[in-house]
A and B are shown apart, each in its own frame.
Chain A
Amino acid sequence: MIRSAQFSPKNAGLRLLIFPAVLRRGLAQLLFLAGLTTATISPAQSNATIHNHGAASMVDGAAHPENIPDVVAYRLILLGLSQPANPTDNQMKRHLAQFRAIGMSDSDNATLIVSLLRFNADYHSMIETYNAAATAANASGQRMDINSFLLERDQFIQSTHDKLKSALSADGWGHLDAFVQGNKKHMKISVAEASR
C-alpha cells in the first residue's frame, strides 16, 4: 500500500513559491558568473546530488507496521501524546480525545500525563542542547557528528518506555502498548531508522 503523495498540485505550488527551478538555475549561474561565491553548486550538481526524494527509502507503516521498530513507534507516539507545560484549550481537548482513545483507567491516565510532561520537556531540551552545539559548529564551518546524539535519543526513549511499563498497571500498559502498535500504521520512517 503506497500512501505517498508526491508531485501533487500543492507540491508544485511550493516549488514555485520557494525555489522555482528556473530561478534556482538562474541564480546559480548569476552567482557563478559574478564570482561572488566560493561554494558554487551548478544546477546539474544540485539536481544530481542534493535533490533526493525520500519515498524510495521509506518504510510505510500503513503497509508494513511490523517493520516499524518499537523504539521508533514509542518515540513518535509519545511526541504526539505529549504537550507543552502550558497547553491551550484546544490542546487540552485533543489530549482528552487521545486519552479516551487509549482507554486506560483514571489513575493510569494521571501517571501517563505526568510522564508525558517530563518526556516533552526532556526530549526537547535534549534536542535544543544538541542543535545549539550543531548550529555553533556549522556557523564556524565545522561539522557535528549526530550519531552520538541519536544513540542518546534512543536510550532516552527506551528508558521512558521502561519507566512507563513499570509505573502503569498491567492493564494500563496493555492498553498503551496496543495503542502504540495499532498506530504504527500512521508512521512513515526512513530505512535507516528502521534498521538502527
Chain B
Amino acid sequence: MKSSLWLMIAAVALALLAGKEASAQGCSVSYDPSFSLWENEFADSTNIYTQVGIDGSGTMTVEGMCDLPYITHTAYIWNSVGSVGNSWVPVGDYCPDCYVSTEQDDILPYDPNQEYTFDFEGQMWCNIGGEFFDIGGVLDLELAYTKSETIASQPMTGGNEICLLSQWCTPQTQPPDCNPSNVIQHPIILGGIASCSPYYSSFWLAERVKLPYLPRTPWICEPVVLEQNAVGTDDPSYGNCTSNP
C-alpha cells in the first residue's frame, strides 16, 4: 500500500516535470480553411443523380514543436437523397499542406409523384485538432410534370417557332410547380418550317432550398429532357400537373 502511494507521488511529479517541458516546447496550430463545397443534381427518365464535392486547401500556421508527420486531415462527405446515402463517407486522408479534391456520388431511382430531400455537407477533420471545416445545405427535389396550352406563336430564324404557353392543369393541380412561359418548336423535318402544337407536356427536375421555420421558396425548375423539353400534343384534356406549393 505504502509503495503504491510512493509510486503515485512519483508519477505525478514526473508528469508535472514532463508538463513543464512540454509547455516550454509546446505546439500551437491554427488553420485557415479555404475549401469550396459544390453539389449538383441531375435526372433522367429513371434516376436522380447527386454529386457533392470538396475542393481546396488551407493555410496552417504552426508555432513551436509540432510533429507534422503525425498530423492527418480527413475529408468527409454527407450526400443523401431520399433513402440513399444516409451516412458520412470518408473520402480521403491528406497531409496538412496537401490540396483536397474529392467527391461523393449517389443515384436514386425515383418515383415521379414523390418529393425528396437532398441533404449535402462537407467536413474536414484533423486527427489532432478535430473538425475545422463544415458547410452544407438541404434542398427539396421532385420530378415535376406540367401541361401547357399554346396561347400565341411567333416564327423564328432557321424555321423554328416560339410558342408562348400558359398552364393547362386540372383545378386540383394548380398552380403547377414548374410553369414554362414558352417553348421553341423545331421543324420536324430538317429544313422545314415548324408549327406549334396546341398543347405541350414538359418534365422538370425541380429544387428549392429547405430552411426550417421559414416559408418555402419557389421551385427552381431545370429541364429533364432537353432537345425540346416539351412534347407537343393535340389532346385538349387538362393535365394532372405536379403541384406542391
Contact = CB atoms under 8 A, between A and B. Distances in A.
Contacts of B176: none
Contact of B69 (A6, A14, A138): A138
A193 to B, nearest CB: 6
Interface residues of A, number: 82
B94 to A, nearest CB: 7
Interface in B104-160: 105, 107, 119, 121, 123, 125-126, 128-138
B244 interface: no
Contacts of A51: 129-132
A2 interface: yes
A14 B76 contact: yes
Nearest to B63: A49
Given A51-B132, A190-B35, A94 B119 contact: no
B225 A100 contact: yes
A146 to B, nearest CB: 5
B101 interface: yes
Nearest to B136: A5
Nearest to A14: B88
A81 B195 CA distance: 35
Interface size class of B (residues with CB under 8 A): 35 or more
Interface stretch (B2-10, B46-54, B161-169, B231-239): B46-54
Given A39-B65, A40-B26, A80-B40, A190 B76 contact: no
Contacts of A6: 134-136
B123 A3 contact: no
B218 interface: no
A164 interface: no
Q: Do most interface residues of chain B lie in helix, strand or loop, or is the interface mixed?
A: strand
A98 B42 contact: yes
Nearest to A140: B69
A137 interface: yes
B225 to A, nearest CB: 6
A131 B130 contact: no
A190 B33 contact: yes
A29 to B, nearest CB: 10
A38 B98 contact: no
Interface string A109-134: 00000000000000110010011001
A54 B57 CA distance: 12
A38 B19 CA distance: 10
Contacts of B223: 100-101, 103
Contacts of A193: 34, 36, 56
Contacts of B53: 76, 79-80
Interface in A41-100: 41-42, 45-46, 49-55, 58, 62, 72, 75-76, 79-80, 90-91, 93-94, 96-98, 100
Given A19-B125, A62-B137, A131-B98, 20 more contacts: A10-B119, A18-B125, A32-B18, A37-B22, A39-B26, A39-B27, A41-B26, A52-B31, A75-B55, A80-B53, A94-B105, A100-B224, A130-B99, A131-B95, A131-B99, A139-B68, A141-B67, A149-B99, A188-B36, A188-B137
5 contacts: A40-B27, A46-B130, A98-B42, A100-B44, A123-B101
> 7 nearest interchain CB pairs?
A35-B18, A50-B129, A3-B137, A39-B27, A97-B42, A94-B49, A144-B97
